[in-house]
Structure 1
């Protein structure tokens, strides 16, 4: 099973949800691999620049990949990847990036998650966006919806864009990252009725969220 994980916006909880899915798969005896092809926002370490989200995916992967295998392209500034690349005088090569990800597919993990950066249409280079990476890889998509005012529009437009780009929407997760939104239950019901894919989980606001706790609120695609 291989999926691309995107979200309605930045800070929707893609990494936490991805790690929750990886943890759930491990509990079921499956091998797991989490990848973050592009990350912006990093700190210096003995491994060089490292991104917090990529480190979390690395830790959640049972196949124990190296950091560079999880995150081949990392930028220091926590800004849009194409701006970070320009600031550092670097090029974003979509074909090369897709090749690096395909190389990790050869490990044949039972569950591989490829996490995007920000939302579906985050620019990479020229007219290319992260959506083009998912299209090159031909991956079904899991959408993380941050439950807040405006999420109905964001979720429905993102789902429409995914389908228009020719990729299947494998499912979506409702994630509450702060205080519960007004009429959250009714908003969830609206999304469940209008989104053309099953809901794979509803994650409440957790005081100290971790993958094991989050996994209790999720179902793997195909089992929902």
Structure 2
């Protein structure tokens, strides 16, 4: 039985938090207890991250901040550099311990990665190592803009090379001036070899709860619908 999903993206700023929150709302509407987790966040102020607050608001289970966000880093830069500047080392085992606590309380845990799939976390591990340790199916958020075909296909290749399953992908229209949008979505549908869970329109202030209605979570497999 699937206990959650790992949400990654083609880059930073492509809508991972929006999609993660939308997934929380969607599974919640299916009667599941849900909680969002962002193991590592940078650009935090006073120990709090806006993305983490959004995930907490979209969850229907309340957990301690340090459980849903074990590493809240202040510098708004790559996590391994931010951690080093803060005098700490990101420990995947610490994240796993928090995740185990979450999954004992909630039916579905949505884990949002930081940056792209291969972003370094420390001197020897990156986000793919975390995803592999969690052993969760992956949801890929594709920021639809020029260059997204290459970014999406390379990310999918990296996910599968890590031995993980792509549960599906989401096309997020982040560039309103992107040419041949529909053709690009079709190209990815033909090549990613996993379900297209939804196409999100360009909307600068998108509401995750409303967006959840555009995601076909039933396509993600029966494990969460027992």
TM-score band, normalised by shorter chain: over 0.9
Aligned equivalents of 2:167 and 2:118: distance in 1?
Answer: 18
Per-residue CA deviations over 1:179-208 (Å, capped at 9, x if unaligned) read 141000000000000002100010011143
Flag structure 2 segments of 5+ consecutive residues without an equivalent: none
Matched, 1:148 2:148: no
Flag structure 1 segments of 5+ consecutive residues without an equivalent: none
Aligned equivalents of 1:15 and 1:207: distance in 2?
Answer: 13
Q: Which runs of 4+ in 1 moved over 2 A?
A: none
Matched, 1:172 2:174: no
Aligned to 2:111, what secondary structure does the other structure show?
Answer: strand
**Matched pairs, number:** 218
Report what 2:112 is aligned to: 115
Aligned equivalents of 1:207 and 1:13: distance in 2?
Answer: 10
CA shift, 1:154, in A, is 0.2
CA shift, 1:178, in A, is 3.2
Structure whose residues are more often strand by fraction:
1
Q: TM-score when scaled to structure 1?
A: 0.94
Aligned-pair Cα RMSD in Å: 1.2
Structure whose residues are more often helix by fraction:
2
CA shift, 1:137, in A, is 1.2
Report what 2:78 is aligned to: 80
Report what 1:43 is aligned to: 45
Per-residue CA deviations over 1:135-157 (Å, capped at 9, x if unaligned) read 01111100000000000000000
Q: TM-score when scaled to structure 2?
A: 0.93
Report what 1:7 is aligned to: 9
Report what 1:26 is aligned to: 28
Matched, 1:222 2:221: yes
Aligned equivalents of 1:207 and 1:94: distance in 2?
Answer: 33
